Amino acid sequence: MMRGTGLVNRLAMLIAAVGAAMFPLAPLHAEDGYDLWLRHAPLSAVDAQAARPYLGRGVQLLGEMSPTVKLALDELGQAGERMTGLEPSPHPALVLARADRLESGGYPSDPRLAGAPPGSYSIRAVRSGRILITAHDDLGLLYGAFALIRHIGVTGTVAGVEAFSAPAMPLRMLNHWDNPDGHVERGYAGRSIFDWWHLPEKLDPRMIDYARANASVGINAVVVNNVNARGFMLEPRYIAKLKRLADTWRPYGIRVFMSARFSAPRDIGGLPTADPLDAAVAAWWRAKADEIYASIPDFGGFLVKANSEGQPGPQDYGRSHADGANMLAAALGTRGTVIWRAFVYKAEDDTDRTMQAYAEFAPLDRQFADNVILQIKNGPLDFQPREPFHPLFGAMPKTKVMLEAQITREYLGQATGMAYLAPLWKEVLAADTGRGGTVAQIVAPVGMAGVANTGSDRNWTGTHFDAANWYAFGRLAWNPALTSDQIAREWTAQTFTRAAAPREAIVQMMLGSRETVVKYTSPLGLAHLMGTGHHYGPAPWVCDLERPDWNPCYYHRADAQGIGFDRTTTGSNALAQYAPAVANQWADPATANPRYLLWFHHLPWTHRMASGRTLWDELVTTYDQGVLETEARAQGWAALAPHIDPERHAAVATDLAIQRTEARWWRNASLSFWQSLHSLPLPAGAAPIPERLEAYQARTFPEAPGQ
């Protein structure tokens, strides 16, 4: 029998509490998840009467009726209709006011708005029981309206709604890896939401609902196409399509960006070269930028993946990343921004792959133009379930840098089960770089980008709980000081239930869910153990791929004696890329955080852990904990059936059953392979492995989505 954990026990207690709780249950109707966290569930009769003056279409407006303000009023009206089920109050008590119009209504100004960034808003209780939403710009009024709706949706009341809120980061962006043919790279929620074939003449109504969801959490920029870009998306016919999206999203405060193929002057422009220092190439990009801005005056700019995984770039011509980025930046001028991805590694470079981006970019600090942003992944490898923060954060103080996170769960089970990613992002944002602050402090002047998980599935994100990651990304980009717990409570109350006991049970399931996936896929700092190409399921045995750093064996380095990647001074010395104070925390296996142990150290299977167990026994125990936690989560969800509508409850139950199967598969296949190397027995009490290693190795998934 596998051994239990504290988390399993806590979940068991919550199951019992939910099962014992008695609530006056309202009739539950089927829901498909399309409304996301904007479903505006009805309030109780008492709460509806109390909220009625603050929701609905009778809002007093001080200022101009711009398209954005109209959206704010529409959102308040829709929320009022759904939450209260009542006619608008004959005595509305909500006022929306531009700060420059406050005097006309006799309302006091809020000094906190002075000098606040665009989109900031103030919500205050004023005379005669009124609530006043104030902002310097119309977008702030829209964000303030969403904040009021969110507060009522979470708490059921307007009490405590007073707040001042300003975005911590100016750029809060989604990156779509969507292709023009509708396929989504690393997408697990159906096909692309962008219907390029019918644009610009036909606009899918989902584009409006997508913009609403983004604006409700403060997302203000969208890259619409894959970083593995097609040159033809810069042609006039696609600029016209992009213009239709830009015009639709502009009232929601969303600017469009495009991934640009670096070789476009050669691919579609008829030039013999794409050398960034070639005058004709620079002129081609200037003309292209002028063409785009003539159609889309507020076009955000270009996202570029260059000289990475076979993509063209300036190094093809002996030029640097700065040469390439600055040439594009000059073409955009003050109108827009070039976002240059730092995800680079080369087939011919035998350096530890986690070190290559730092080696290429750190020497280029000070060399990038003012309108260039370097987009850096959260960790130095590739969106693994757990990585240490990227050493480039803090290492380029004279360069604008932003954080790139992955909302789509490429390495975290894809669209199965539950893996709430706010704790992952909080782990990174809170990391002290030792070079001028935390990651959050370093990226705050610029922003965050998230690789989107939205698709054509009716619920947008493949599973209902994957929507929590979209929501959490937006909330953290607006305010990285929010806790994972706060965000989970907000999302759960708006998405499933405000009732205390079932809401608490769901939140607790969410908070530990990412750690559970880490335990059964990549315990103790292991990484990149997934199957080839599809990145689905375990395949630590793969060691025959063309490139060494595509092989799982490159990363775990397991043999009969031990396991792990030595990145200390006796190995690749990747630790030297971190500030000394940070490197010292990970340098000694006796004191290193066990979460990163095998990321930085190659250790014997008999290495004694702080628990008193050997490393081998600790690995088995950790895998087993992950399996047990998936079992407990499935049981906890089953107990919630009386409190969740049947359609969504059944869908999530199915997802959790799949995750439970996958956790066992990961555990058994991985342990079988490790045993094939060292022949050590499983510790006493551990469940036997049901199949031979060859059976696990024979599994293939040519039809897996997202490839």
> How far apart, in whole angstroms, are the C-alpha atoms of residue 644 and residue 623?
31
Cα distance between the two ends of the chain: 37
Please tell me the total number of residues recorded for the chain in this structure: 707
Q: Which of 64, 290, 309, 370 is catalytic?
A: 309
User: Residue 175: enclosing H or E segment and its boundaries?
Assistant: strand 171-175
Determine phi and psi for 490, rounding to 5 degrees: -55, -50
Q: How many Cα atoms within 13 Å fall on the side-chain side of residue 643? A: 27
Whether residue 452 contacts residue 175, with contact meaning beta carbons closer than 8 Å, is answered with yes
Distance of alpha carbon 662 from alpha carbon 669, whole angstroms: 10
Taking phi over 0 as left and psi of -120 to 50 as alpha, with beta for the rest, 128 belongs to left
Q: Residue 26: CB partners within 8 Å, gap ≥ 6?
A: 42
Residue 127 tokens, joined: 């005379």
Q: Name the E strands within 352-392.
A: 372-377
Six-digit token string for 273? 């070269």
Write down the catalytic residue from 35, 110, 178, 410: 410
List 604's β-bridge partners, or say none.
Answer: 562
Asked if 358 and 342 count as a contact pair (C-beta separation under 8 A), the reply is no
User: Cα torsion at 130, 131, 136, 141 (round to 10°)?
Assistant: -120
Confirm if 174 and 153 have CB atoms less than 8 A apart: no
Angle between helices 513-521 and 500-511 in degrees, nearest 10: 30
- Outline where 156-228 has alpha helix (H): 206-216
Structure tokens at 417: 């089960």
Element spanning 322, H or E: helix 321-332
**Which residue(s) pair with 98 in the sheet?**
135
With contact defined as beta carbons under 8 Å apart, do 649 and 505 qualify? no
Largest Cα–Cα distance in the chain?
81
Catalytic residue among 47, 110, 178, 382: 382
Told to judge if 382 belongs to the known catalytic residues of this protein, a careful annotator would answer yes
Residues with a catalytic annotation lie at 309, 382, 410
